[in-house]
A and B are shown apart, each in its own frame.
Chain A
Amino acid sequence: QSALTQPASVSGSPGQSITISCTGTSSDIGAYNFVSWFQHHPGKAPKLIIYGVTNRPSGVSSRFSGSKSGNTASLTISGLQAEDEADYFCCSYAGSSIKVFGGGTKLTVL
């Protein structure tokens, strides 16, 4: 299973919106509605912020939203805040109980 493709970095100013893409194949993202997104501050445990493509766990800000089109999933963060600066990873189900992660995207809040 190949890793999903994410941009290495994205940046935005406070208050702006940014979108992080996660590109897979017709065998993972394109085949299933099981895409998750994680926020990871270095030195801390990753945090689930989106599951099932569009769903937010209880307690996660509504500023985070997920979507999918074809083989590409996207995470949008609106009203960017300094605390959003972190690494973001996507994960997709790839069938046969297999999960595959993206390479991660570093978000910088300018």
Chain B
Amino acid sequence: QVRLQESGPGLVGPSGTLSLTCAVSGGSISSNNYWSWVRQPPGKGLEWIGEMFHSGITNYNSSLKSRSTILVDKSNNQFSLQLRSVTAADTALYYCARDSLELGGKGAFDVWGQGTMVTVSS
């Protein structure tokens, strides 16, 4: 059974860089799936940030593309998110999720991490 676990600092200063890692266990990050980051600001809905495929292909939400980078680390079976120039609006619960190509992909997020809360504040 594939499991995902997010990790990273819970507090980031304004204008700083948010860096999170998603460790994949019970399966390979090189499997035929896309791996995404999704966030949920307090009291609001989910927002898709972007995704990567193990080949290095990445796709991003256009509203966050200029500040976001998603990278794969095959040696450690994990992937990461960097979000630059953060503001209070980036305060959110951040999830990593698997978009299953077996289920057709395109939003079929069948495995999720528990989420990690990141607060942007000085």
Bind each other? yes
Which among B7-15, B18-26, B69-77, B107-115 touches the partner chain?
B107-115
The listed residue with most B CB atoms (<10 A of its CB), out of A36, A47, A93, A99, is A99
- Whether the pair A93, B110 counts as a contact (CB closer than 8 A) is no
Q: Contacts A93-B106, A98-B59 given: A45-B46 contact, CB under 8 Å?
A: no
Q: Establish whether residues B110 and A99, one from each chain, have CB atoms under 8 Å apart when the complex forms.
A: no
Count residues of B near A (Cβ-Cβ below 8 Å): 27
By size class, the interface of chain A is: 20 to 34
Residues in chain B near residue A35, CB distance under 8 A:
107
- Closest A-chain residue to B62, C-beta based? A1
Chain A proximity of B119: nearest CB distance (Å): 17
CA separation between A67 and B105, bound complex, in Å?
18
- What is the count of residue pairs linking A and B with beta-carbon distances less than 8 angstroms? 79
Interface residues of B in 91-122 (CB under 8 A from A): 95, 97, 99, 103-110, 112-115
Stretch of A10-18, A75-83, A101-109 contacting B (4+ beta carbons < 8 Å): A101-109
Question: Does A89 interact with chain B (Cβ within 8 Å)?
Answer: yes
Partner of A92, one of B45, B97, B107: B107
8 other contacts beyond A34-B108, A36-B107, A91-B46, with CB at 8 A cut-off? A32-B106, A34-B106, A38-B109, A45-B114, A46-B95, A51-B110, A99-B106, A104-B45
Q: When A45-B95, A98-B48, A100-B48 are in contact, do A52 and B108 touch as well, CB less than 8 Å?
A: yes
Instruction: Flag whether A55 is at the interface (Cβ < 8 A).
Output: yes
The answer to whether B109 touches A1, judged by C-beta atoms less than 8 angstroms apart, is no
Interface residue ranges, A against B (CB under 8 Å): 1, 3, 6, 32, 34-36, 38, 44-48, 51-52, 55, 57, 89, 91-93, 96-104
Closest 9 CB pairs of A and B: A103-B45, A97-B59, A93-B106, A34-B106, A45-B112, A51-B108, A101-B46, A99-B48, A91-B107
Identity of the chain B residue whose Cβ is nearest the Cβ of A44 in the assembled complex: B114
